[in-house]
A and B are shown apart, each in its own frame.
Chain A
Amino acid sequence: MVVSESNQVVAPPIQRGGFFSNLATGLKSLLKGMGITFHYFSRPSTVVTQQYPENRATLKMFDRYRMRLSLPHDENGFHKCTACTICEQACPNSSIRIVSRKGAVTNKTELDRFIWRMDSCTFCNACVVACPFSCLKMSGDFECSVYDKSLLVFNLTRYAGPTSTVLMKVTDPQERAKMWEPRDVYSGPVPLRGTAVPGGGRTLGAPEPVKASAPVAAPTPAPATAPAASATALAVEEEGGKK
């Protein structure tokens, strides 16, 4: 190996000798290679295969693993999103649509629906980084396979209303309940379009009944699948476009 002044290493030429020396070196090199493979064959501890569905319990993804986008809700069931649409602008492929509304009590813009299209998302994390309130997170839940592409459209918010900061300022539960309305959480593959939205039974666009109940600490997620009502989420997008 020649190391010259200018920090270069020059490739060594392949050395070849006579018939018998070639035969000997050749056979030796082959046997050495066989030694390597046998080393691994004879040591079952070197097996690196992960038996995936069986090891689900022990399989931990890294904290930063970027898969399903989520809008974390605090222990009261409120989030921090102000519907500022910065994430929507940051998204390179328009996978996020923020549907906002004028708050009934506060008379300010607040989040109505946070629609995330996993089918076009590239998991580039731009929305999470761009969010000025750090209210978005990409979680390590990677088991997202569905049979219908339209099931990959999620609504990330559980309620339409202001942020948790605004809501927690209001101490009276009755007053607080007026400020927000439940929205169907599309935490699993659930279609968005259709007359009946799972869990609520409301028609999209129709005035939603105000529920008097106090905010649920952990709202029950919608049923896992409801293929009967499945369709695309275009209706919601048009809805958002009008607003």
Chain B
Amino acid sequence: MSSWEVKTIAQRAAEAMPESVLAGAGYVLLAVGFAAAFMALMGMALIYAERKVAAHFQCRLGPMRVGPHGIFQTVADTIKLLFKEDIVPSQSDKLLHLFAPYLSMMATLLALLVLPMSPVVQIADMNIGVLYVTAVTGFGVLGVLLAGWSSNNKWSLLGAMRAGAQIISYEVSATMALLVVVMFSGSMQLSKIVESQAEGWWIWRAPVIGLVSFVIFLIASLAEISRTPFDLPEGESELTAGFHTEYSGLRFAMFFLAEFINMFIVAGMAATLFLGGWMPFHIGGFDTFNSVMDLLPPGAWFSLKSGLVVFLIMWFRWTFPRLRVDQLMKLEWKILLPIGFVNLFAAAASVVFGWYFFPIR
């Protein structure tokens, strides 16, 4: 079993600070720059990936014109969105209308800060990481609600109200699923959770319980980020474009970007909590096998795992139809939550009695 030394950018900054303020500030700048660049680039990459994946699910080719296989299509789209007129409806609540996209974006950015992408690529590592992520992602609903409200459009308002009800409800189930992993690993710190999976990922190390909570987490998170089959706040065929009907240009791009980065965050969180994060595929005791797995760097492992979950999310989107509002609530309160509770109790029991592979020594 190899050990990884986790060193976040925040730690580096704190270490450098007493000696040289400049070095500390440099690390802070690095963190900010990294987060911003990551958001923009990852957003564009995900949009391109989504379009290509969707196309091939549908027997199409997708973007093919801009660059080889259309890889610069999203760049062109971004430039187009940047130069588009930013229309603010005359009867809207202007301040909130202008402010809402930033709120939505901020929630995404804040969640991105704690995501451990590799032992060295993590901006901050809080001891309450899981709680923090739950808190700040819930913050995103505020942007959606304000956007829908301030647009002064009935369709937008309907979308926003749907979003509010949906996100708040599904947060309960998502948290239930997270608690299972917190219980197993005994920590809320994301790097500790990753390290606790050095002998096996929680999805299989805790038989059935891990898988069930992974599925619950995935479903609930999909609902939280409003992806199909839970895209009711946007509900294109019902509400035209839902809460962002009245947005255009850069502000629309912000919602769009936030939505796609949220997808990545969900994938990253799912990978971190259930699939071992950046930890290579290890089976406790099989040291030769584990050392072979270590050949691939942790960053690659994280990318692979989160990429897989992103693909899964896209796969859902391009297969399933949308649920209805009442069915959405039924799914949460009558199906997911009871199963989540039972699962939580089962997890507690198995932690107490050590009913899982390679119990923590």
Contact = CB atoms under 8 A, between A and B. Distances in A.
Interface of A: 23, 30, 33-34, 36-38, 40-41, 44, 46-49, 51
B154 interface: no
B57 A37 contact: yes
B324 interface: no
A243 to B, nearest CB: 51
A44 B318 CA distance: 16
B57 A47 contact: no
A201 to B, nearest CB: 42
B59 A47 contact: yes
Contacts of B319: 30, 33-34, 36-37
B87 interface: no
Nearest to B215: A27
A37 B335 contact: no
Interface in B289-327: 315-316, 318-320
Interface in B278-298: none
Tell me the interface secondary structure of chain A in the complex: helix
Given A47-B56, A47-B59, A37 B315 contact: yes
Contact of A40 (B56, B316, B320): B56
A40 B61 contact: no
A189 B319 CA distance: 46
B30 interface: no
Contact of A51 (B58, B64, B318, B335): B64
Given A33-B319, A33-B320, A41 B53 contact: yes
21 contacts: A23-B335, A30-B320, A33-B319, A34-B315, A34-B316, A37-B57, A37-B315, A37-B319, A38-B315, A40-B56, A40-B57, A40-B59, A41-B57, A44-B56, A47-B56, A47-B59, A47-B60, A48-B59, A49-B55, A49-B60, A51-B61
A55 to B, nearest CB: 12
Contact of B58 (A23, A38, A40, A44): A40
A49 B61 contact: yes
Given A23-B335, A47-B56, A37 B318 contact: yes
Kindly list the 5 A-B residue pairs having the minimum CB-CB distance in the complex, ordered from nearest.
A49-B61, A37-B319, A37-B57, A41-B57, A41-B56
A36 B318 CA distance: 11
A64 B14 CA distance: 77
Contacts of A36: 319
Contacts of A47: 56, 59-61
Nearest to B62: A49
Residue with the greatest number of chain B CB neighbours at <10 A, chosen from A30, A34, A38, A48: A34
Interface string B44-73: 000000000101111111001000000000
B332 to A, nearest CB: 14
Contacts of B61: 47, 49, 51
Nearest to A44: B56
Contact of A48 (B60, B64, B315, B335): B60
B9 to A, nearest CB: 37
